Amino acid sequence: MCFSERRGRLRRRWRGLAGPGLVGAVAAAVWILGAGAPASAAPLDEPFVGGLSFDGPTSPNLGAVYWNPAALGLVRGFQLMVAASARLSTVEVNRAPIGPTGAPGGTMTFPTARAHDLAWPSLGPRSYLALSTDFGGDRFTIAFATYMPYLQQISFPLSPKGDEPTRYHMLTLDLRNLVLVPALSIRFGGDFRIGFAPGFMFSTGRLSFAEDLGLNAGLPAEDPQNAAGYDISSGNGLGDAKFSVTLGAGLYYRRRSFELGVAYQSRPLGSDVPGVEVAGQHTQVTLPPADQMGGGGVLTCPNQQSNRCVFGDISYRLPDVWIGGATWRLGPGVELSAMVRWIWLHVHDRIDVRLSGPTLDEHNLPQHVVLYRGFKDVWDTRLRVSYWWRERIRVGAMLRLETSAVDENGVNAAAVDGFKVEPVGLIEFRVIRQLWLGGGYGVTFMRAVDVTNSAFEPTAATACTASGNNLTTEACQLRMAGRARPTAAGHYTAQTQDFGVTLTLKF
């Protein structure tokens, strides 16, 4: 009988848990979860919720809170799980030359922009903490977990001259969505189970970019002298976050050597805007150097007040996620699993930025900016084979294929994505009687993207202003969609390596 299917109750006690192996493991977990750094990632989605481990909609571990709450019923006794992953990533942007109007094909060139990050997990990003109990039976299992299913972090180096190649689309982007999730699994006869996992989501973020004010006036495009800087930040504490709720549910069924699981995770509900909101109480606006009143300094309050009087608000939508998977037990200790996630990213078409402040009008600064996203649905498919050796060591290999969240013409510095292939190696072994340690490594191969027909049209901003801001014109409709911005034509590449460690205590 497979280790994961044991039905006998094991009366485990606490003695022996304070040995050197456990103390070292707990200390390592605390250290791993204590540090943080910016990271480059695929737009919004975190592909390894629960860490790089043997997760999935039919897996008997605490990653089931996300992957399929019904599968929590396979988790025996009391368990505590801590998972952390790190990511080494490099994103390169090589923009095509432009002309005076901002359209591609001119003589104005740009240096290579490179975002190179080694991201360690912190309390939230790239970490997963969960605990569960089955109350000594097989009918009910409850669990609690905290993690970030939606996360995007990327930061490009700043230039003292304010002429960064990526500045009109993104300089710094850090969108975080932390969820606290209670979950329940109920068995209804045989091996049919249902599960529920409502979530409480807390959204924070920071967004930094430049606004080309010269486009509206018909001035030469992308002149740093006519660029205003926007830096909207909420802070990353729970007290800085905006609140919403999510709903999750799943089904699990097993018949002999075949297991099937399906699950659903809803988009955020109950917020003041469609999707999630980031309250930018730490907002700063930098005036263009050509501004006659401010001369390029930070926008100040009336009468030179020291307190802040400019506030920002960011809103964007998050997807629904459907998850399905099956596992076949091919022989003693050998398992083959296939799974797929359908991520409804097509709802995330824009980031809506609104600002308020008594001095914005005086400097003709836009108080409503739309950043075009234009995402489409993503299919994330995985095939994994694993082998148990004497119920102490489990090794596995997985291949992950993921479609791009962005059409080729929509790729820009804030959304570098393409078709991806990622092989992953996994291992899990028992250190002492109650402690399991797991690890994983994956490397992502993404094809380079050449954008020749960019979705962004800088001349639309000039044309919309010339029409008297007639909203029925095509140019003004492009501006309302966030596409009347400098072009993003160019060559884009991304390289990513993922590392993960998982600690599980089983009593």
C-alpha of 480 from chain center: 25
The enclosing domain of 462 has a CATH number of 2.40.160.60
Strand order in the sheet with 276-280: 276-280, 311-316, 350-356, 368-372
- Identify the three-state secondary structure at position 474: helix
Residue of 261, 265, 498, 263 whose CA lies nearest to 400: 498
Q: What is the pLDDT of residues 308-327, one digit of tens each?
A: 788 999 999 999 999 999 99
Angle at 395 between CA 392 and CA 397, to 5 degrees: 165
7 belongs to a structural domain: no
Q: Which residue has the higher pLDDT, 122 or 279?
A: 279
DSSP state of 219: P
Q: 5 in helix, strand or coil? A: helix
Contacts of 100 (CB under 8 A, 6+ apart): 106, 108, 220, 221
pLDDT confidence of residue 23: 35
- Give me the DSSP letters along 79-103: EEEEEEEEEEEEEEEEEPPB-TTS-
Question: Which residues span the domain enclosing 219?
Answer: 16-506
Percentage of the residues of the chain whose pLDDT score is greater than 90: 73
Q: Looking at this protein, which amino acid is placed at residue 324?
A: G
CA pair distance 64, 293, nearest whole angstrom = 57
Q: What's the pLDDT at 294?
A: 63
Task: Choose between 295 and 477: higher pLDDT.
Answer: 477
End-to-end Cα separation, the chain, in angstroms: 20
- Model pLDDT, residue 40: 37
102 occurs within a structural domain: yes
Both tokens of 456, joined, read 């962004």
Q: pLDDT value at position 105? A: 87
Other beta carbons within 10 angstroms of residue 240's beta carbon come to 18
**Can you give the three-state secondary structure of 338-394, one letter per residue?**
EEEEEECHHHCCEEEEEEECCCCHHHCCCCEEEEECCECCEEEEEEEEEEEECCCEE
Give residue 299's pLDDT band: very low, low, confident or very high (50, 70, 90): confident
pLDDT per position as a tens digit, 371-400: 999 999 999 999 999 999 988 999 999 999
Whether 4 is covered by a domain: the verdict is no
Mean pLDDT of 410-431: 95
CB 157 within 8 A of CB 112: no
Q: Where are the beta strands (DSSP E) in 188-333?
A: 192-196, 199-212, 227-233, 242-246, 248-255, 258-265, 276-280, 284-286, 311-316, 321-331
Q: What mean pLDDT is predicted for residues 232-249?
A: 94
Nearest to 325 by CA among 383, 243, 364: 383
Nearest alpha-carbon partner for 504 in 78, 14, 18: 78
pLDDT of residue 81: 97
Question: 301: exposed, middle or buried (C-beta count within 10 Å: 0-12, 13-18, 19+)?
Answer: middle
3-class DSSP state of 164: coil
pLDDT value at residue 36: 36
Rounded Cα gap, residues 370 and 368, in angstroms: 7
Determine, yes or no, domain membership for 9: no
Would you say residue 1 lies in a domain? no
What is the average pLDDT across 401-413? 95
> What pLDDT is stored for residue 31 in this prediction?
33
Q: If DSSP codes are grouped into helix, strand and coil, which group holds residue 13? A: coil
Burial 423-452 (b: 16+ CB within 10 A, else e): ebebbbebeeebbbbbbbebebebeebebe
Indicate whether 369 belongs to any domain.
yes
Residue 9: pLDDT above 50?
no
CB atoms within 10 A of CB 404: 22
**pLDDT confidence of residue 5:** 39
Q: pLDDT-derived band of residue 306, with 50, 70 and 90 as boundaries?
A: low
Q: Which two tokens stand for residue 336?
A: 């083959």
Q: Could you read off the pLDDT of 31-56 as tens digits, one per residue? A: 333 333 333 345 889 999 999 999 99
How sure is the predictor about 22, in pLDDT bands with cuts at 50, 70 and 90? very low
CB-based contacts of 313, cutoff 8 Å, min separation 6: 232, 277, 278, 279, 280, 353, 354, 355, 356
The mean of the pLDDT values for the chain is 88
What pLDDT, on the 0 to 100 scale, is given for residue 309?
A: 81
pLDDT tier at 244, thresholds 50, 70, 90: very high
Name which residue leads in pLDDT, 418 or 27: 418
Is the pLDDT assigned to residue 16 strictly greater than 80? no
Name the more confident of 126 and 178: 178
Integer Cα distance of 254 and 264 in angstroms: 19
Average pLDDT over residues 174-178: 95
Residues facing residue 506 across a β-bridge: 79
Give yes or no for residue 358 having a pLDDT over 70: yes
Percent of the chain with pLDDT strictly greater than 70? 90
Total domains in the chain come to 1
Q: Half-sphere exposure of residue 45, counting CA atoms within 13 Å on the CB side?
A: 27
Arithmetic mean of pLDDT, 124-153: 93
Rounded CA gap, 443 and 48, in Å? 13
In a domain, 309, yes or no: yes
Q: Is residue 10 part of a domain?
A: no
Q: What is the chain's length?
A: 507
The strand pair at 140-155 and 420-432 is best described as unpaired
Range from 9-13, 69-73, 102-106, 362-366 carrying the lowest mean pLDDT? 9-13
Would you state the torsion angle of the CA atoms of residues 70, 74, 78, 83, taken in this order, to the nearest 10 degrees?
A: -80
